[in-house]
Every structure is written in structure tokens, then in C-alpha cells.
Structure 1
Amino acid sequence: MTGNTKEDMLSEWERKQLLAALHARLFWVGEEVPYSVEIKGKKCRLHDIVWELINKDELTDEDIEHIDKYVSYLREKEKEDELDLKTKELTRKEAKALFNETAGLLRAIMDLREIEDGTAKEKEKEFEERFSQERVIEARRWLQFLKDAGTLE
């Protein structure tokens, strides 16, 4: 951290704001699952793992066992990151990066739990149905607009 001025450093008020944001309801909206994360000294392709699991038609017992392990490791990593955010002397930039990683880990944990309990597939199906309905409604609006404009008879 050499070369950082006092103005670059995270204030206690900013630290509290970031920590509060991690525990706020709907904190995860807009957060992405990290593409990779280092857990216990190994680089993990977290985004790919979540993507592969979410796209499986059916989970095996081995998949569920892996999900439980991933969640356990991610919770441990998330707690480490949160402790660092609470206690380490950080620049604003470092704090924001740590916050984003932590929020991404929490998002991944939520996604993995939803995959495991089957709600992820339900939500995906619900989204696809709603998207299809909206497309039909929008097409009808467009056709009505063209009729009203006199370009379609």
C-alpha cells in the first residue's frame, strides 16, 4: 500500500456502508458470479461450474455432494473476505474489489442452493414463459401501431 495517500484509504464510515450493503436485502441484484476465485490456494472456475450445473437436466447424487462442498468452501472464503473488509487497512479501490468479490460469492452460494433445491429451473421456466408472453404482447402492439399509422391494412 505504499504510495497511497490518506485520501485513498477507506474510511470507517465507508467500511460500515460496504458491510451493511453486503447484509442488505436484495444486495445480490446485478451482482455476477465471479468467473474464477481462489479457494484454499487453488483457482476455481466458479462461473463455469455454476453454469454447467444450472444447465443439467437432472442432478446426480454426486452433483449434490459437489454443490454442498462448493457452498462450504465459498462460505469459508466469503467469511475471510468479509473479515478482511472489516479489519484490514484498505484503499477504496481494494475495498470495492473485495466487496464485489464477496457479493459475487454470496450470489454464487444463492445460485448453487437454488440449483440444488430445484428452484433455479422453476425460475428459468417462469422467466421463459413471461418473456414469450411479453414478445407476443409487443408484437401485437407493433401490429396495432402499424395499422393505426396506416402502413398496414
Structure 2
Amino acid sequence: MIKKSDNDDYISARERRQLLAALNTRLFWVGEEVPYRTEVDGNVYNFHEIVWDLLMKKELTDEDRKQIDNYISYLQDKANEDKLELKTERLTREEAKRLFDEAAGLMRTIMDLKDIEEGKAKEKRKQFHEVFARQRVAEARRWLRFLKENT
């Protein structure tokens, strides 16, 4: 049996560069989940719920916009802390993955909040539902055609 050295559990310089590069690519956050629990400046936030509540509002108030700006500022600071830690600290693969996932989720939340603030989120959601509905109809038609041809 080969004995692993202590360094085998830590990320290599190459792995570190890959993780940092991935965080800086366009659209890397697609598919990442908005976090349910994030601690920022000693306060715990459920950004998943916050984003959902903002999405459900018919119209944003000035207070909502101010709060969104505050959230974005907090999240950017936290994401930058995670990136700095990922860049400079000696990390195990597990720690590095956790930091990467956290930073990606925070950045996804920032993008969602910006979309909400700019009014883009509702339009994107509407477009998604339209495309989804068209795809469901097309799938149903294919299924009916298949059944008709094979019965």
C-alpha cells in the first residue's frame, strides 16, 4: 500500500489556478444554487428566500432597492473574501471546494439580485415559462405521434 504524504490532501498550485480561473469565467455560476444560509458580518441570511420574495413582488419599493444594494455589497465583500482565501491559504481539496461553491453561490445571488433590481428577472422567468410550455407541447405531440404510429 502506498503511503500518502500530508501534501496529498491539499490542493496543488495548478488546482488553485483552475478554481480561481473558473470563478472569473463568464457564466460560471449558471447552475449554481442561491444559498439558503449565508453568514455576513455576523448576521445569517437566507438569500434563497430573500431572492424568491423579491421575485414575487409586483413592484419594488425604494426600500427594496436600497436593501438589494446592501445585499449586493455584503455579498461582493464575502465573495471577495472567499476568493482571497482560495488564492492565498493552504487548503485541503474539501476546503477549496467548499470555498469555490460558496463564492459561486454568492456570485449567482449577486447576479439574481441585479436582475431583480433592473427588472430583468421577471422577463427572464416569463421567457423561461414560454419556452418550457412550448417544449411540453412539442413533447406531447411527439408522444402522441409515437403512440399513433405504434398501435
State the Cα distance separating 1:50 from its structure 2 match: 1.0
Please give the root-mean-square deviation of Cα atoms over the aligned residues, in Å. 1.2
The equivalences for 1:119-138 within 5 A come to 119-138=120-139
Counterparts of 1:141 and 1:7 in 2: how far apart (Å)? 52
Distance, in Å, in 1 between the alignment partners of 2:150 and 2:69 is 58
Q: Which residue does 2:49 correspond to in 1?
A: 48
Quick one: distance in 2 between partners of 1:48 and 1:69? Answer: 16
Work out the CA distance in 2 between the residues paired with 1:76 and 1:43.
Answer: 15
The percentage of counterpart residues that share the same residue type is 59
- The reply on whether 1:76 has 2:73 as its aligned counterpart is no
Question: Given the two structures, how large is their TM-score scaled by the length of structure 1?
Answer: 0.92
More moved, 136-145 vs 72-81:
136-145
Q: How much does 1:52 deviate? A: 0.9
Rounded to whole Å, the distance in 2 between the matches of 1:116 and 1:47 is 16
Moved over 2 A (4+): none
Give CA deviations for 1:129-152 in whole Å, capped at 9, x if unaligned: 1111111111111221122123xx
Matched to 1:140, the amino acid is: R
Unaligned runs of 5+ in 2: none
Alignment of 1:79-98 (within 5 A): 79-98=80-99
The DSSP-based 3-state class of the residue aligned with 1:38 is strand
1:107 aligned counterpart, secondary structure: helix
1:87-143 Cα deviation digits (max 9, x unpaired): 111111101100000010000000000011111100100011111111111111122
In 2: Cα distance, 1:5 partner to 1:51 partner: 44
Letter in 2 for 1:144: R
Amino acid at match of 2:73: S
Aligned pairs, how many? 147
- The two structures have a TM-score, normalised by structure 2, of 0.93
Is residue 2:54 matched to residue 1:58? no
Tell me the residue number matched to 2:146: 145
Residue-by-residue CA offset, 1:27-85 (whole Å, 9 max, x unaligned) = 01211111111100111111111111112121111111110000011011111111111
Q: Could you tell me which amino acid in structure 1 is paired with residue 148 of structure 2?
A: K
Distance 2:90 2:148 in 1: 64
